[in-house]
Amino acid sequence: MWKRLILASATAVLAAATPAKAQSNELTVGVTISATGPAAALGIPIKNTIDFLPAEIGGAKVKVIQLDDAGDPTTATTNARRLITESKVDVLIGSSTTPPTIAVSTVANEAGVPHFGCGPMPISPGREKWTVIMPQPVPLMAKVLFDHMKKNNVKTVGLIGFSDSWGDLWLNEFKNQAVPLGLELVADERYARPDTSVAGQVLKLVALKPDAVLVAASGTGAALPQATLRERNYAGPIYQTHGAVSMDFIRIAGKAAENVIMASGPVMAPEGQADSALTKKPGLALNAAYEGKYGAGSRNQFGAHIYDAFEILKRIVPVALKTAKPGTPEFREAIRQALLSEKDLAASQGVYNFTEKDRYGVDERARILLTVKEGKFVVVK
């Protein structure tokens, strides 16, 4: 009897001395990314970059919990729910590509948890409150490609892209921006992310002899049509989206990557930026850390997405901590409000100014144009 009372008292004292998650000084961040599967080339750099994230923000210790969704929206949904219900995360980050990012956004907005998407996605009504997107929006990046086409006398374009929402985003943007410029879409060919051949689609494209081809794909999957087009002796310019910019693209496409035109974020070449550019310092810092561990030329845009999410958190968490503790709905709401109130949030890929309607928050400072020369990325002036 006395032992049970003593044990109960000790347990009560321990519980009183141990702060509950609801009154924690620990910021818990849940991450779901495509560390395996067809989109691993995008997810692995994000996973690698976790090593370079701050251990403390505004006096609050940072705890990162990372799960793999393999690029599957259903798994991403499960991961997001698990991170919210079991780990009680204050912030969600993920996923790596468009379909699972949409899935995570749905869960985050249902639960009222701030969400940083690492894959571009359309912001439909019901998702704009809790989700912000780290990659540049397709309209911003598409414009620099379509302007380049127009400047170089391209009249007809063949599109080959993923048979999912990423391909659809680029098709819609072609209609919205390229058609008014006088460009004509002569083909819309699609393939699935796991496909290992696009020979049939490329044969159709080559037969139509478009002035240029736009590849609406991402990760290593973007190299497949690039290589196949050159193998079939297509000699026209090939344009790639910012989802394709990685050293893996050059490695897989090989000589076929030469002279490709790619929209990119500034983190791929911060050395050439003016000292006054707000993206230069964080870009140099990230590339130094990443290439210091993973080798020269390993820099990438995808790790930059989670790095930039934390650059933003470094600004907004101290603001949120003035009104609430991590682990509470009030803290999550304070983060959401700080995302709107804090301006010129400088990061490696852009300068972010979020609003209730603009959940990307970037402008022309978030893009550059790259090509490949002798196996290396070179800025197009």
Burial 223-241 (b: 16+ CB within 10 A, else e): bbbbbbbbeeebebbbbbb
- Cα–Cα distance for residue pair 289/299, rounded to 1 Å: 9
- Break the chain into its structural domains and give their ranges: 23-136+299-349, 138-264+367-379
Assigned CATH class of 23-136+299-349:
alpha beta
**For residue 8, what pLDDT is reported?**
40
Give the DSSP H/E element, type plus range, for residue 240: strand 238-240
**For residue 334, what pLDDT is reported?**
98
**For residue 105, what pLDDT is reported?**
96
Instruction: Write the DSSP symbol of residue 230.
Output: H
Mean pLDDT by groups of 10 residues along the chain of 381 residues: 38 36 81 93 94 97 98 97 98 94 96 96 82 95 97 98 94 97 98 96 98 95 97 98 91 97 95 92 97 93 96 98 97 98 97 96 96 92 81
**For residue 16, what pLDDT is reported?**
36
- Domain topology for 138-264+367-379: Rossmann fold (3.40.50)
Burial of 82 (0-12, 13-18, 19+ CB in 10 A): middle
**Residues in the chain, total:** 381
H-helix segments, the chain = 2-17, 40-49, 73-85, 98-111, 138-151, 165-173, 199-208, 223-231, 247-253, 280-294, 302-321, 329-341
Residue-wise pLDDT tens digits, 151-170: 999 999 999 999 998 999 99
Reported pTM: 0.83
- Do 23-136+299-349 and 138-264+367-379 share a fold? yes
